[in-house]
């Protein structure tokens, strides 16, 4: 997995970078294809002047997987809070991708349908 950071208007502190890397590595537990070299996680961070202080930082996370791009976006005051919100949005997308693209995921989905 290749991680690309794009920062506009501010930069992460060292502690925030470590926290960010730890949170992004959690995505790999949902889909093994994230560990491949051809998958890319792109994080765009931008500070924008807004009337509401709580919406100043815009975080966009794009996960480029073979055959699919997943995306989440969030505005918060703190960049780590915005990343948390993006992760909440990406987790269901990754689970759905896994069900559609992997054999094991399709088998599990079929079992789940039969059980209902």
> For position 30, which CATH number holds?
3.30.160.100
Distance CA 114, CA 107 (A): 11
Rounded to whole angstroms, the Cα distance separating 28 from 70 reads 14
What are the average pLDDT values for consecutive 10-residue runs of the chain, which has 116 residues?
82 86 80 72 85 81 87 90 92 84 68 68
Burial class (CB in 10 A: 0-12, 13-18, 19+), 37: exposed
Q: In whole angstroms, what separates CA 65 from the centre of its chain? A: 12
pTM comes to 0.79
How much is the pLDDT for 72?
95
**Dist CA 72 CA 91 (whole Å):** 10
- The total number of structural domains in the chain stands at 1
What is the predicted pLDDT for the residue at 85? 93
Question: What is the domain extent for residue 78?
Answer: 2-115
């Amino acid at each position: 997995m290749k991680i690309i950071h794009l920062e506009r208007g501010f930069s992460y502190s060292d502690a925030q970078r470590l926290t960010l890397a730890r949170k992004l590595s959690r995505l790999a537990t949902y889909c093994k294809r994230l560990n491949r070299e051809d998958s890319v996680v792109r994080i765009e961070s931008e500070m924008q002047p807004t009337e509401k202080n709580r919406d100043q930082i815009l975080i966009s996370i794009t996960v480029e997987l073979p055959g699919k791009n997943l995306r989440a976006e969030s505005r918060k005051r703190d960049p780590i809070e915005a990343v948390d919100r993006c992760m909440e949005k990406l987790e269901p997308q990754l689970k759905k991708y896994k069900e559609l693209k992997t054999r094991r995921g399709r088998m599990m989905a079929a079992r789940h349908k039969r059980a209902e």
